[in-house]
Amino acid sequence: QVQLVESGGGVVQPGRSLRLSCAASGFTFSSYGMHWVRQAPGKGLEWVAIAWHDGGNKFYSDSVKGRFTISRDDSKNTLYLQMNSLRAEDTAVYYCARAHSSSWAYFDYWGQGTLVTVSS
């Protein structure tokens, strides 16, 4: 069965960096686009970024563009999110999600999330 397991969250000071990982199993990772989505405490879901299955195309939300980098290692079935220049407003649970087979605009499987807290 499809499994997505995020890791790497924790408490980090403003301005510092953190890298999240998402280990995938149960499907051919290289054939699917992969997203990061976040949810701040008490807030709604917010799309963060996508890496297409070919690895060449990557898109970001305006709120993280230039600070976050999404990448993937298909040999390790792992998705990454490098987060630099972190701000308090980046505090959230970060989920990785698989793009639906019909379109990268949808998510069909999600991980359970990893909490990132940006605080001094």
Q: Rounded to a whole number, what is the distance in angstroms from the first to the last CA of the chain?
A: 40
The residue count for binding other proteins (CB under 8 A) is 23
Q: Which residues pair with 88 in a beta bridge?
A: none
Candidate residues 30, 110, 115, 117; the one interacting with other proteins per rule CB under 8 A: 110
For 98, the token pair is 């698989």
**Between residues 60 and 74, which has the closer beta carbon with respect to other proteins?**
60
* Residue 23 φ/ψ, nearest 5 degrees: -90, 125
For 53, the token pair is 């299955």
By CB under 8 A, which span of 7-15, 22-30, 46-54, 75-83 interacts with other proteins? 46-54
Applying CB under 8 A, the residues found at the interface with other proteins are 35, 37, 44-47, 50, 59-62, 95, 100, 102-103, 105-112
